Amino acid sequence: MVRTNWKVFEEDYWAINTILQELLKNSNAASVLLLDKTGQLISSLGEPPQFDMHSFASLCAADFEANAQLATLIGEKDFSTLYHQGSNESMYLARVEQNIILVILFDRRTTLGLVRLRAKKAVDNLETVLRRLFGKLEYENEELTEFNEEFVQQAEMEIDSLFTD
């Protein structure tokens, strides 16, 4: 399920931010971002990048999707992580749950090995928080759906009673 409108409860917001702050600190990365499969930015911590964050998030999501198609072509289910190395700046992307992507931007102050190690722990922790959040949202949507169906039935009965003799 891809969410295009994010709703996060306060306790989940703090849990996500705590995990991302810990990742940022322990990996010595410059920035961490959490985004969904559509490229919508969910959270961002660390040094503000010197580029348009929303365009970057969309490109990261597209990159992850393109690589998923490449994985399929070579017989893999998908690639759960991606790594792009530059001469000064690098980025590491990891799938969190099915439709969430963790992006870590880092430079020479850290190593890929440390980033990967810390990202693995962060992904595991984020999956726990996101599953709990998705469960709450599904429960909330079920309640809303039941309310809407009940409302529609009552409205139909009211309209029918207006037009009966």
134: in domain: yes
Query: For the domain that residue 26 is a member of, what is the CATH number?
Result: 3.30.450.30
5: in domain: no
User: Is the model's pTM score more than 0.85?
Assistant: no
Given this model, what pLDDT does residue 146 score? 46
Sheet (strand 41-46) strand order: 41-46, 31-36, 100-106, 90-96, 81-85
1: in domain: no
pLDDT means per 10 residues, the chain with 165 residues, are 56 88 95 91 88 90 90 89 93 90 94 95 92 71 51 68 67
- Mention every residue, 6+ apart, whose C-beta is less than 8 A from residue 105: 29, 30, 31, 32, 33, 46, 49, 89, 90, 91
Range of the domain at 34: 10-162
4: in domain: no
2: in domain: no
Structural domain total, the chain: 1
